[in-house]
């Protein structure tokens, strides 16, 4: 029998064995099949390898095309529905390609799930901040020795200079996979500044990566364009399939019209909520009514969350009541229903979450409950990241306060203190710093985050004697303050004073600790950077950044408005215009979703917010008079009127005022405009 015929026959046998639970992986057979694909990546040989490694006899829509392009070294943008098998599109290439496949993934839980789902013949590893030093060291050792084929890593770790140095010196990188690639774009529903720093120049120039595979389940045309531009993926290399499977029955109702059918007979159900307190109360209610359920959210310990997922996947519990933290990487094909207890923040989020139902091809139900109050509350929260030009200007002044300094000088901004000082979320500060690094002009170079304040004690040798032969200790003694017997110092300051890196300082501290000479504690997490160029006009740069951030804020609001209007349309207009019957709104919602994703997701969307109130200006005036000792900005006043906490105005303090959240139903920009007018009357135009 010819080699090809033998492989084909045994592959068919393996598919049968896999389905009967009797599968045993034949390493030699798989290696031979992978070698055949290396020589010629024909459809027949790829299907054969698929059968040997995964037990399937055919590819799903889009998989084969993506795998072929990757094997040809063509960077690719892949858009497949949730649960459509995107992971397979890097697993098979990882087996065939000679080097390492790096997978950048946003969540530790997702990386753990993806690592578990690797076929046995593909050795994998994981690097995350939750690992111990020993686990990290062991993974890096395996990486250097080339015993890992697929390495999962967070974007934060990926951008770490030490990691990049180790990886670039190790075995060649054949493929970099950017999972949840929509996070690269500020116009997506889940933008992450650390993802924004994943640029093709970094992947190709620093790592010499041969190919990039960007994957997502949901992205508008505008988001796709931004991601592909950042990763330098040609427009012709886009593979995009339908956002929704046709076995999902979609329905919508107002929250007051909750109905049990058709969920009575469904065995596995996910209920999504917006707030942790809702998940706990709903799961308790279900348990009290003899329905096995558990809640899942970030406030629950990781071990307990993992146990809940295991129980759900093994059908030991029927319902998981979760926030958006649940479901990414979920390996369960028979989820029969997804219920949204409250409105998702975008159609992207909605599509991604309902995509976790019906992966087995059976009819599955997706029901959305919504109401005006939740919409108003969520719309307020969309403004929680917003910033004023005044705050951005002050922040930039601190970033560049010391000018260029000597080449390589490390600057730092302590996160918590700066967040309160500028009334700016830490994520927003990182977004600005990232833009300063990656914009048209590079003003700075970001370094790995660091706890910059060190409190140190000496134990064996006297500090003065130790300083005689250790340059780091000598610098510490010069730059530190003594507080209750502790030497307290700023790590970047010490590093700059003797012209070494902060990593060198940390390494020497660790060496001295291992020798029993010192003990120390680190605090004050900070952003660290070196300055490349100082802006000529800070005011102009602040105006540019504020305009960009305002557009991002408006984009988030529009996404929520689009989601709300789709739900309203389904309930109020669907039966009359689209012929949908009862609570079944599949045609209407499918059309809305298709139109949204084929456009830029940025149309002119009506909203239900009030645009005026005869009492607004008077209430703001009373509020300012009652708090005359506090300095406010128009945005700070508007946030309080909307019931939005911020770093400088926490809810623990400001929710006590009876104005807290009073104007949640009023358009935020209208409230801010009124606040600005009253502040000008109250403190004068020049004070603003």
Distance CA 313, CA 310 (A): 5
Distance CA 43, CA 53 (A): 15
Contact 99, 172 (CB under 8 A): yes
C-alpha count within 13 angstroms, C-beta hemisphere, residue 556? 19
DSSP annotation of 128: -
- In this predicted structure, what is the pLDDT of residue 3? 39
- In this predicted structure, what is the pLDDT of residue 11? 42
**What is the pLDDT averaged over residues 166-170?**
76
**What is the pLDDT averaged over residues 239-262?**
77
Mean pLDDT of the chain: 86
Tell me the sheet residues that pair with 293: 319
Say whether pLDDT at 12 is over 50.
no
CA distances from 516 to 455, 461, 462, 483 (A): 16, 10, 12, 21
- In this predicted structure, what is the pLDDT of residue 201? 63
Say whether pLDDT at 564 is over 90.
yes
Say whether pLDDT at 347 is over 70.
yes
Per-domain boundaries in the chain: 59-240, 403-531, 616-687
Question: 8 pLDDT band (50/70/90 cuts)?
Answer: very low
pLDDT tens digit sequence for 503-542: 889 989 999 999 999 999 999 999 999 999 999 999 999 9
Contact 86, 80 (CB under 8 A): yes
Higher pLDDT, 686 or 482: 482
pLDDT tens digit sequence for 400-438: 987 767 778 999 999 999 999 999 999 999 999 999 988
- In this predicted structure, what is the pLDDT of residue 597? 86
Nearest CA among 12, 25, 6 for reference residue 58: 12
Contact 509, 454 (CB under 8 A): yes
Per DSSP, which regions of 183-229 are E strands?
212-216
pLDDT tens digit sequence for 287-309: 999 999 999 998 888 889 889 98
Give this prediction's pTM: 0.83
CATH superfamily of 59-240: P-loop containing nucleotide triphosphate hydrolases (3.40.50.300)
| Cβ atoms within 10 Å of 645's Cβ, excluding its own | 17
- In this predicted structure, what is the pLDDT of residue 306? 85
Per DSSP, which regions of 334-469 are E strands?
337-340, 364-370, 411-414, 444-458
**What is the pLDDT averaged over residues 321-348?**
87
Tell me the sheet residues that pair with 370: 254
Say whether pLDDT at 37 is over 60.
yes
Say whether pLDDT at 181 is over 50.
yes
pLDDT tens digit sequence for 58-87: 998 899 999 999 999 999 999 988 877 889
**What is the pLDDT averaged over residues 650-668?**
94
Question: 319 pLDDT band (50/70/90 cuts)?
Answer: very high
Per DSSP, which regions of 23-115 are E strands?
76-79, 100-104
Tell me the sheet residues that pair with 249: 365
- In this predicted structure, what is the pLDDT of residue 19? 42
Question: 141 pLDDT band (50/70/90 cuts)?
Answer: confident
């Amino acid at each position: 029998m010819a080699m090809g015929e033998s492989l084909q026959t045994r592959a068919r046998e393996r598919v049968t064995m896999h389905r009967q639970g009797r599968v045993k992986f034949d390493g030699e057979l798989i290696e031979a099949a992978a070698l055949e694909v290396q020589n010629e990546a024909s459809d027949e040989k790829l299907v054969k390898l698929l059968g040997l490694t995964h037990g399937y006899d055919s590819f799903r829509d889009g998989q084969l095309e993506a795998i072929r392009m990757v094997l040809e070294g063509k960077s690719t943008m892949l858009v497949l529905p949730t649960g459509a098998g995107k992971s397979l599109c890097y697993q098979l290439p990882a087996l065939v390609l000679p080097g390492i496949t790096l997978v950048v993934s946003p969540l530790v839980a997702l990386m753990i799930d993806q690592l578990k789902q690797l076929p046995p013949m593909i050795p994998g590893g994981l690097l995350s901040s939750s690992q111990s030093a020993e686990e990290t060291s062991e993974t890096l050792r395996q990486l250097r020795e080339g015993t890992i084929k697929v390495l999962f890593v967070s974007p934060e770790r990926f951008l770490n200079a030490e990691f990049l140095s180790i990886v670039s010196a190790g075995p060649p990188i054949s493929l970099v996979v950017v999972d949840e690639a929509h996070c690269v774009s500020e116009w997506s529903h889940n933008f992450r500044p650390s993802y924004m720093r994943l640029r093709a120049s970094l992947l190709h120039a620093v790592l010499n990566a041969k190919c990039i595979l960007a994957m997502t389940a949901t992205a508008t045309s505008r988001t796709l364009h931004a991601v592909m531009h950042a990763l330098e993926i040609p427009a012709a290399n886009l593979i995009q399939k339908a956002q929704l499977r046709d076995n999902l029955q979609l329905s919508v109702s107002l929250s007051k019209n909750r109905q049990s059918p058709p969920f009575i007979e469904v065995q596995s159900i996910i209920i999504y909520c917006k707030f942790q307190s809702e998940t706990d109360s709903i799961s308790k209610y279900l348990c009290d009514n003899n329905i096995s359920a558990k809640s899942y959210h970030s406030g629950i310990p990781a071990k307990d969350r993992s146990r809940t997922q295991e129980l759900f996947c093994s059908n030991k519990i029927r319902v998981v009541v979760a926030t958006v933290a649940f479901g990414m990487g979920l390996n369960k094909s028979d989820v029969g229903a997804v219920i949204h207890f409250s409105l998702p923040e975008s159609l992207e989020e909605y599509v991604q979450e309902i995509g976790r139902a019906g992966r087995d091809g059976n009819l599955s139900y997706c029901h959305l409950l919504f109401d005006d109050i939740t919409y108003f509350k969520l719309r307020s929260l969309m403004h929680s990241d917003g910033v004023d030009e005044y705050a951005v200007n002050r922040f930039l002044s601190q970033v560049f306060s010391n000018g260029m300094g000597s080449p390589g000088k490390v600057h730092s901004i302590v996160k918590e203190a700066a967040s309160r000082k500028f009334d700016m979320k830490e994520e927003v500060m990182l977004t600005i710093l990232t833009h300063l690094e990656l914009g048209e002009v590079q003003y700075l170079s970001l370094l790995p985050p660091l706890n910059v304040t060190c409190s140190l004690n000496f134990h064996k040798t006297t500090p003065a004697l130790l300083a005689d032969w250790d340059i780091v200790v000598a610098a510490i003694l010069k730059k530190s303050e003594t507080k209750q017997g502790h030497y307290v110092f700023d790590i970047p300051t010490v590093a700059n004073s003797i012209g070494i890196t902060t990593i060198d300082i940390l390494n020497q501290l660790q060496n001295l600790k291992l020798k029993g000479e010192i003990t120390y504690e680190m605090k004050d997490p900070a952003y660290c950077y070196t300055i490349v160029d100082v802006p000529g006009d800070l005011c102009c740069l602040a105006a540019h950044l504020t305009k960009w951030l305002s557009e991002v804020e408006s984009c988030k609001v529009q996404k929520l408005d689009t989601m709300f209007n789709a739900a309203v349309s389904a309930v109020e207009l669907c039966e009359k215009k689209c012929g949908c019957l009862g609570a079944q709104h599949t045609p209407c919602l499918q059309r809305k979703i298709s139109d949204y994703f084929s456009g830029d997701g940025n149309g002119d969307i009506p909203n239900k917010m009030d645009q005026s109130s005869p009492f607004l200006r008077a209430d703001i005036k009373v509020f300012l008079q009652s708090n005359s000792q506090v300095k406010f900005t128009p945005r700070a006043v508007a946030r309080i009127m909307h019931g939005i906490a911020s770093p400088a105005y926490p809810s623990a303090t400001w929710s006590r005022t009876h104005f807290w959240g009073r104007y949640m139903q009023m358009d935020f920009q209208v409230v801010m405009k009124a606040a600005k007018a009253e502040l000008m009357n109250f403190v004068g135009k020049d004070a603003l």
